[in-house]
Amino acid sequence: MSEGWLAPTMFFVAFALIFSGFPVAFALGGTALAFAGLGIVTGELDFALLYAMPERTFGIMNNYVLLAVPFFIFMGTMLERSRLAEDLLKTIGKLFGPLPGGLALAVVFVGALLAAATGVVGASVVAMGMISLPVMLRYGYSHTLATGVITASGTLGQIIPPSIVLIVLADQLSVAGRVPVGDLFLASIVPGLLLAGLYAAYAGGVAF
């Protein structure tokens, strides 16, 4: 068998397991362990490479920057389960109701608040889509405008701090040169608010 077959096969198997509905954690971890053993048996990998695994695992567990990631995910889950995001959207919708495109403005505003509260993109998009899309369509918003506003406002969690993306980026940048996650948070506040303002202005202009 030709060299270089191990990595493509491993990725194919991992994606096949994920798309089949297998839990992501077990799909990635199980695939890595299985193909590590297969690579050692076939001679593609050196067994000495596994000696670094405990040290690497402990290093990740001891990383205080990455410690914030599961807490933000938990916060987003709690907002979704408690239906607090739905109540927030209804309240903000009443506030912006008299304005042209008030519901779209409320979606952008709530999306920015959820981004600042959770830092999770998926939770924001799913929550906003399930809550606001039927209401926006009921009030005569076009499908393109409604889905565009929801998707754009949901992705604000990538840049408005605290953001999981910025946390992971700070962890990676710390390898080359020390870049505190606080500096990344400070640098992303103005761009995040600017994006939210532009989204709101566009939604209000189209609805007007």
Predicted confidence at residue 177, as pLDDT, reads 65
Lowest mean pLDDT among 22-31, 91-100, 182-191: 91-100
The CA distance from 79 to 12, in Å, is 35
Predicted confidence at residue 1, as pLDDT, reads 47
Strand (E) or helix (H) holding 133: helix 121-138
- In DSSP notation, 73-122 reads HHHHHHHHHTTHHHHHHHHHHHHHTTSTTHHHHHHHHHHHHHHHHH--HH
List pLDDT tens digits, range 72-107: 777 767 776 777 777 777 788 788 777 777 888 888
Q: Residue 159 carries which DSSP code?
A: T
The CA distance from 168 to 60, in Å, is 12
- In DSSP notation, 40-82 reads HHHTSS-GGGGGHHHHHHHHHHT-TTTTHHHHHHHHHHHHHHT
pTM, whole model, 2 decimals? 0.65
Backbone angles phi, psi at 80, to 5 degrees: -75, -45
